[in-house]
């Protein structure tokens, strides 16, 4: 039952770890872009085209990372919702099957044994069927058969 839900959560956890890695790379790119902006503004040189090109490339990379990350998280959120819904349905089905199996085992056990763990005899089955309302039945006589393993053996006493 729990395995279905756990597998859905583990899948989401893996995706969140990937999103954290992307977030780290995004922060690195944003930090590098900030440094480049400051260097361009404070540059005494007149030619800052190389740094501007690098800044543009870094900003494009950061924007691409942001879009990929948001797309991946949106897909993960949708997939997680679907997996949780599937897991809930599967859990309900497993619970129904377990209940059916338990009922069947209990019914089989009561059919096969009486209160002492002995199999019912033919006349007891008939008397059990006669216990229905409006019918009378004779009380069943229960015979306890000794267990051959636990029966004490006679002792041989020699003088």
CB 23 within 8 Å of CB 69: yes
Number of domains in the chain: 1
pLDDT digits (tens, 9 = 90+) for 74-112: 888 888 788 778 878 888 888 889 888 888 888 777 766
Each residue's pLDDT tens digit, 6-60 = 777 787 788 888 888 888 999 999 999 999 888 888 887 677 888 889 999 999 9
> From CA 7, how far away is CA 84, in angstroms rounded?
9
**Is 159 inside a domain boundary?**
no
Which domain, by its residues, includes 59? Answer: 2-112
For 30-55, the three-class secondary structure string (H helix, E strand, C coil) is: HHHHHHHHHHHHCCCCCCCHHHHHHH
Alpha-carbon gap, residue 48 to 44, rounded angstroms: 9
Residue 93 in domain: yes
Specify the pTM.
Answer: 0.49
In angstroms, the CA 98 to CA 54 distance is 63
Q: Is residue 22 part of a domain?
A: yes
Q: Is residue 77 part of a domain?
A: yes
């Amino acid at each position: 039952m729990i395995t279905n839900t756990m597998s859905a959560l583990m899948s989401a956890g893996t995706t969140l770890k990937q999103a954290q890695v992307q977030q780290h790379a995004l922060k690195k790119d944003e930090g590098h872009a900030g440094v480049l902006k400051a260097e361009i503004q404070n540059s005494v040189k007149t030619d800052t085209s190389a740094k501007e090109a690098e800044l543009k490339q870094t900003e494009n990379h950061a924007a691409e990372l942001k879009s990929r990350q948001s797309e991946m998280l949106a897909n993960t959120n949708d997939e997680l919702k679907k997996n949780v819904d599937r897991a809930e349905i599967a859990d309900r089905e497993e619970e129904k099957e377990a209940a059916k199996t338990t009922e069947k085992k209990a019914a089989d056990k009561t059919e096969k044994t009486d209160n002492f763990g002995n199999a019912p005899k033919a006349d007891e089955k008939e008397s059990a069927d006669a216990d229905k309302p409006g019918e009378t039945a004779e009380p069943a006589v229960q015979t306890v058969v000794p267990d051959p393993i636990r029966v004490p053996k006679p002792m041989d006493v020699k003088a």
